[in-house]
Amino acid sequence: MDAKKLTVGRALIYILLVFCALYYLAPLYVMLSTSVKTLDEIRSGNLLSLPHSPTSAAWVKAWSSACTGVDCNGLAPFFWNSLRMAIPAVLISTLIGSLNGYVLAHWRFRGSEIVFTALMVGCFIPFQVVILPMARLLGLADLANTTTGLVFVHVVYGIAFTTLFFRNYYVTVPEELVKAARIDGAGFFMTYRKIIFPLSLPIFMVCFIWQFTQIWNDFLFGVVFGGSDAKPVTVALNNLVNTSTGVTEYNVNMAAAIIAALPTLVVYLLAGKYFVRGLTAGAVKG
């Protein structure tokens, strides 16, 4: 009897999980199906119907020539802008956060707790608070309206998060390993390279995924600090959807939205398991 109840209970759980999965995948299905339909089919059918004659015309238009504004020629140039912005910003902020976390976890100095607290406060500062001082700083550094300026903005804003992640992970590394390396004559960078870095793959993956997602999906910094030649794909997507051409091309809009979201989706599909593993790696010490 207990085994029967257990089987029924497990079946109900699976049914609930399948329902939840279908519920959350439904918008993605609507976007995909709409993006390969013609406008006539979209107007005459319903959102859940399968496309009768799939076409890639909307995808081509979204990528190369969907936007008819003066400064817009599809998502292609802005997509590459986002890649040129996100990749160096992710690498630099993650590396600096790793070194900061290593220092705060194993090379304590006077005031280190104050520094760590200040970095934690930085994690909760809204984007809007730093817009004016950051704009002033970028202007003084001659980095306004450039991709390099956007990289700098995201590195500065991301260091607080990456430092927090790495510090909380590195405190779980046995102190004896670091002390033994010091006794053997290893300095700061040698200890990091030989002891800390080889143990850091899980938390590096967490920071890579976190930072890439935050930077790629950012709109506010992109629209404020990105010039006409440095706008990220999120700003271009907004311009595309809100472009007034007399007819709302839902298929083009859906294709453009999928293109803009595709990199983060691919990152999660390829490295999602490492993200979960990295989050739980430092959960228990000892």
Q: Of 63-77, 185-199, 208-222, 242-256, which has the strongest mean pLDDT? A: 208-222
Task: Report CA torsion sign: 253, 255, 258, 263.
Answer: negative
Does pLDDT of 91 surpass 90?
yes
- Rounded Cα gap, residues 81 and 211, in angstroms: 16
Q: Which pLDDT score is estimated for 114?
A: 87
Task: Encode pLDDT of 33-43 as tens digits.
Answer: 988 888 888 88
Taking 50 as the threshold, does the pLDDT of residue 68 lie above it?
no
Average pLDDT estimate for 206-217: 91
DSSP H helices, 124-200, are 127-140, 147-170, 175-183, 188-191
Q: Which comes out higher in pLDDT, residue 83 or 47?
A: 83
61-75, 140-154, 247-261, 265-279: which range is least confident on average? 61-75
Mean pLDDT for 45-69 is 76
Q: Residue 16: which pLDDT band, with cuts at 50, 70 and 90?
A: very high
For 120-127, the CB contacts below 8 A with 24+ separation are 120/160, 120/164, 122/157, 122/159, 122/160, 123/160, 123/161, 123/164, 127/157, 127/220, 127/221
Compute the average pLDDT of residues 122-146: 86
Cα(265)–Cα(247) distance, integer angstroms: 29
Q: Name the average pLDDT for the chain.
A: 84
CA 70 to chain centroid, in Å, comes to 29
pLDDT mean over 188-212: 88
| Phi and psi at residue 148, to the nearest 5° | -60, -40
Please report which confidence band the pLDDT of residue 282 belongs to, taking 50, 70 and 90 as the band edges. Answer: low
Handedness of CA 278, 79, 265, 124 (dihedral sign): positive
The confidence score (pLDDT) of residue 120 equals 82
The answer to whether 232 and 150 are in contact (CB under 8 A) is yes
Q: Check residue 73 and give its pLDDT.
A: 57
Q: What is the DSSP string of 36-70?
A: TS-HHHHHHS-TTSPPSS--SHHHHIIIII---ST
Q: Where residue 193 falls among pLDDT bands split at 50, 70, 90?
A: confident
pLDDT at 108: 77
In the chain, the percentage of residues whose pLDDT exceeds 90 is 24
Q: How far apart are the first and last CA of the chain?
A: 41
DSSP 255: H
35 vs 51: CA distance, rounded Å: 9
